[in-house]
Structure 1
């Protein structure tokens, strides 16, 4: 009998609590912030690739070519922290028709160019000194963190403006933000292939010319916000 009384008391407590708990009136909106900026630096991935039938000779030739490339990079007065070896490989390739093994040696260097005025000279020099593959050129901003913060603030302002527009028709006001969710995607600058193509053909024309169109990069932030209604 005591167990039955206890069970009834528990059920009564749950029902009473459920009746007393009220859903908070709120509005859910999203906001997007965009900041367009002109890039001030470039990330370049350049590779020296060498082929041959003798692994030692192929590796030696590849090292020699990369040595001249590094000398060029140093002559551009880049900071030591702005260039580094990214990948090194020596791989055999077997030709089943000729029944012979050849070798491919590659070394890839990553360069951060902080002075875009040196872009054409650097790209032309890389090709002249032995680089035979430009894997990627990406234009970036050195103030990315600042611009991402600006984009987030713009996203929040848009979300608040949306909420105010909706509730103003009902004669209500928005209160405190109950939930804020950052739904922004990671920022990955896009490579500029037109610039790479121009640089690879630079050795065909010794005249000074401009081969890149930097344009603008767009930094986007997205946010979802739940505001309490008053």
Structure 2
């Protein structure tokens, strides 16, 4: 997978690090020995190779059973097309159903009048071959799916990339500490403390669209990219 490191991983920038030397008599710090504190960061830009598609069908009818039947048929036809196109059944989630009365507001009487029922079902599809995405969208619309909620682009190697970002952040902290110590004529004596907190869950690239905008999808998904970053804080002793 092609990827580029956006952050200056092996940078000696002083802006991302804190230099602090204290004496045993110092009271302002809990660390009462000479030390350097650095913050290592990393950021990787990755081209997405899979997507999670969330679509929905909303049907209206006079009775709740008819509304449900119309929604169920659209979902069943869509799933049938997906499986014939090579999408595995475990990559399709479609078990939800919402059914509620459909009202129209009458401004003269200032009342909501029930005119029937609405049924709504969502389908989430994990697409591992992005070249099939546009055809799947067309298929969804052809089978009565009338709302495309969003497309979340992801990477199939997310776990590996998270680990890579963490190691790059560690190297960044190490390099900054060595550079700072040498610049001030000091030497590192080893790591005293490591502060690390799991980063927020990786946010996939989101693409929202209306059903009428499907013609723009083919161009947008091919260049979809996501960012994976990490951060670590390290306290080094000075000799």
TM over 0.5: yes
Query: 1:136 maps to which residue?
Result: 150
Residues 29 and 108 (structure 1), Cα distance of their counterparts in 2 relative to 1, 3 Å cut = same
**Number of aligned residues:** 203
Query: 1:14 maps to which residue?
Result: none
Query: 1:114 maps to which residue?
Result: 128
| In structure 1, C-alpha distance between the alignment counterparts of 2:194 and 2:145, rounded to whole Å | 49
Residue 28 of structure 1 deviates from its aligned partner by 1.2
Question: Which of 173, 176, 198 in structure 1 is aligned with 2:187?
Answer: 173
More helix by share: 1
Query: 1:225 maps to which residue?
Result: 234
Larger radius of gyration: 1
Question: Which of 75, 78, 97 in structure 2 is aligned with 1:69?
Answer: 78
Residue 61 of structure 1 deviates from its aligned partner by 1.0
- 1:216 matched to 2:230? The reply is no
Which secondary structure does the structure 1 equivalent of 2:97 belong to?
Answer: strand
Residue 25 of structure 1 deviates from its aligned partner by 2.3
TM-score (norm 1): 0.80
> What's the CA shift string for 1:178-228, capped at 9, x where partnerless?
2222243321112023xx45x7444x89xxx65534332111111111112
Query: 1:163 maps to which residue?
Result: 177
Residues 96 and 215 (structure 1), Cα distance of their counterparts in 2 relative to 1, 3 Å cut = closer
| In structure 2, C-alpha distance between the alignment counterparts of 1:154 and 1:26, rounded to whole Å | 22
Query: 2:6 maps to which residue?
Result: none
User: Which sits farther off after the overlay, 175-184 or 72-81?
Assistant: 175-184
User: Which sits farther off after the overlay, 77-86 or 37-46?
Assistant: 77-86
Query: 1:34 maps to which residue?
Result: 43
Query: 2:166 maps to which residue?
Result: 152
CA contact (8 A) 1:124 1:200 kept: no
TM-score (norm 2): 0.77
| In structure 1, C-alpha distance between the alignment counterparts of 2:232 and 2:225, rounded to whole Å | 23
CA contact (8 A) 2:55 2:150 kept: yes
Q: Which stretches in structure 2 are left out of the alignment for 5+ residues? A: 1-24, 26-30, 107-111
For residues 52-131 of structure 1, what are the structure 2 equivalents within 5 Å? Answer: 52-85=61-94, 87-97=96-106, 99-131=113-145
